[in-house]
Amino acid sequence: PCGSVAYKLSLVAAGRASATWTLVPKSEWDIAAGVALLLAAGAEVRLPDGARPRFNQPVPRVTGLVASSRELYPAIERLLGLPERVD
């Protein structure tokens, strides 16, 4: 097993994993490429509060990240007890 969040995000983007999440803070540079791959693949990627990740923030950290296919994402939200998405 590999602990890299970037690797796990790339597996979801490539369709080799159904979902991945981390509920601990991550630096923007640890997730940026994976988020780009996920978005290009049409996957859903959100912060634990339901917001979409934004980059180049004054504090370059996110509170966590949840990623899956668009179809599976509502079930992952429920499983993790996350708030409904905010767009």
Running DSSP on this structure, what letter comes out for residue 85?
P
| Topology given in CATH for the domain delimited by 5-80 | D-Maltodextrin-Binding Protein; domain 2 (3.40.190)
Residue 77 has pLDDT above 70, yes or no: yes
Give helix then strand counts, H and E, for the chain. 3, 5
The more confidently predicted of residues 26 and 85 is: 26
The predicted structure's pLDDT at residue 5: 94
Running DSSP on this structure, what letter comes out for residue 72?
T
Q: 3-state DSSP call for residue 10?
A: helix
Residue 76 has pLDDT above 80, yes or no: yes
pTM over 0.85: yes
CA–CA dist 80, 16 (Å, integer): 21
CA–CA dist 78, 55 (Å, integer): 26
- 27-67 residue pLDDT tens: 999 999 999 999 999 999 999 999 999 999 999 999 999 99
Residue 6 has pLDDT above 70, yes or no: yes
